[in-house]
Amino acid sequence: MAANNRSGELVLLTSSTTAAVVAAAVPAIIVAQAGQPDEYIIALLDSVTDPAVADDYGVVVAPEALAWGALAQAGQLRMDRLLTVHRSAFVQAGVGCLNAAKTEEMLRKWSRLTTRAFYSAIHEPAMTAPFTPEQDRIGYAGRVFDAQEMLLLVESALDFWLTAGRYAESFERELAQFLGVRRAALVNSGSSANLLAFMALTSPKLGERRILPGDEVITVAAAFPTTVAPIVQYGAVPVFVDVTLPTYNVDCALLAEALSPRTKAVMLAHTLGNPFDLAQVKAFCRRHNLWLIEDNCDALGSRYFWEGRWHYTGTVGDIGTSSFYPPHHMTMGEGGAVYTQDALLGRLLESFRDWGRDCWCPSGRDNTCKKRFSQQFGALPMGYDHKYVYAHFGYNLKATEMQAAIGCAQLAKLPAFTRARQQNWHYLTTELADLADRLILPEPTADADPSWFGFLLTVREGAGFTRDQIVAHLEAKKIQTRMLFAGNLLKHPCFDEMRRTGQGYRVVGDLACTDQIMHNTFWVGLYPGMTEQKLAYMVACLKGFFQ
């Protein structure tokens, strides 16, 4: 009997011990051992196949699917119809055994069934529960998912490849197709994406255009710190210019003043999904032969009308970046991506991501170029293994298969997520219009079609109340709020030493709008998980502050 303690074993059931279920002796497959030593979970082999269930939990078994033994005719296992039976129910043990491939298919179908049941029983009720005002918190953002994300996550875990594999390759290909770019590389976070985007531009392979320590990069201080951190960490010099309200994006009128003989690049984020003026910034970069990095971490799905057609943000500049942290437009938990139209930049991004190596073979594959042991590199011996040749001082910033699997499911939902964000933004804009004399409401950049990350509000000068007061009111009503990230990054402790010495950065102008944002701006959520009831409650609480 020990041979039958495995899944995939083919047995016969008696009619006497299972009369309530089967009318005669029928073949069945052991799926797994049950709770008791002599009990087994059994799947009956039905002689009738049902194509309608084959994809989800039906497994077609033909005689050739057996590793040993005999099967009279093909049939279908229904993994949604399982029995728990005692060993005494077996007429004959060891009738046959499914081969490894068919056993794997059977168990994967079973895992899909149980995963879907888990989602339906645990996650779905929590996400669809009625909203209770003043008791349930309204988050500024959150995960929006269904069973598909969990199914792909479990599927990837069963593969147990762990590092980047088939799901990572699929995600990179599909993201590139969605954006309309040549190459997209998956990484472990949006911050890593920004690091790679910048470091790629320091490669010696770029010749005179490479960024060197001491070169300048134009950016803004009203930003998330990891837009600026790679510049500082490398030893380049960030040059900060102000932003404008109500777009909260770079003041393009200051770009020319920020330019110097050491300027090599512009690195800017699309603020909370609202594209900056790409036409002006791109034209400025072209005139002065500057690189443009679009930090697209808060704007995936936003579009900008440029040169006669719509472009997704992140694709107009030389390199774009995305983040897949849970609050963002789609999520993998952690994760990010960096993408480009330029073949050389794409290769450099992958090199810096993958330890700085020169070889472009995917992980687990060898000698794609057919010249692995026949080339000369640096001062290495002739024919040194190309898989271990390093062209850059790089990193290991790859994501995992499990993250990528979730991303594949989320990417398919991205258009619907974008529509929901836009609809929620229009709802809030309409309902809050009568507060415009006290609060600056957000406005999209000209020629832009934003996929909004949040709903920005700035307390007007002389409004009679402070940002802290209205934020405290909303938080007391269980409405989560957020600042516009750093406010003014230069005021933070990470800049203390640089501020004392006056070295390591430049400022153009007085950053008056940036300081205004630091003191008076906050934002609330509009992510796809927001119901109209939640939006209406949020509007009522905002208006209630003034009553």
Residues identified as active-site: 328
Those residues whose C-beta lies under 8 Å from the C-beta of residue 540, and which sit 6 or more positions away, are none
Which residues have CB under 8 Å from 66's CB, separation 6+? 10, 96, 97, 98, 99
How far is 328 from 454, CA to CA, in rounded Å?
10
Listed in sequence order, the DSSP H helices in 129-181 are 147-159, 166-179
Q: Can you give 192-225 as a three-state secondary structure string?
A: HHHHHHHHHCCCHHHHHHCCCCCCEEEEECCCCH
In terms of Cβ atoms closer than 10 Å to its own Cβ (0-12, 13-18, 19+), residue 268 is: buried
Cα(255)–Cα(267) distance, integer angstroms: 12
What torsion do the CA atoms of 416, 422, 423, 424 make, to the nearest 10 degrees?
110
**DSSP H or E run through 431:** helix 401-431
* CA-wise closest residue to 408 among 179, 193, 187, 170: 170
| Bridge partners (DSSP) listed for residue 319 | 293
CB 29 within 8 A of CB 98: yes
For the CA atoms of 459, 447, 272, 217, the dihedral, rounded to the nearest 10 degrees, stands at: -100
Distance CA 149, CA 402 (A): 10
Alpha carbon distance 309, 329 (integer Å): 23
- Structure token digits, residue 531: 């119901």
> Quick count: other Cβ atoms within 10 Å of Cβ 138?
24
Residues for the chain: how many in total? Answer: 547
Which of 417, 401, 419, 404 minimizes the C-alpha distance to 174? 404
Cα–Cα dist 195/321, whole Å: 10
- Please answer whether residues 297 and 321 qualify as being in contact, where contact means their C-beta atoms are separated by less than 8 angstroms: yes
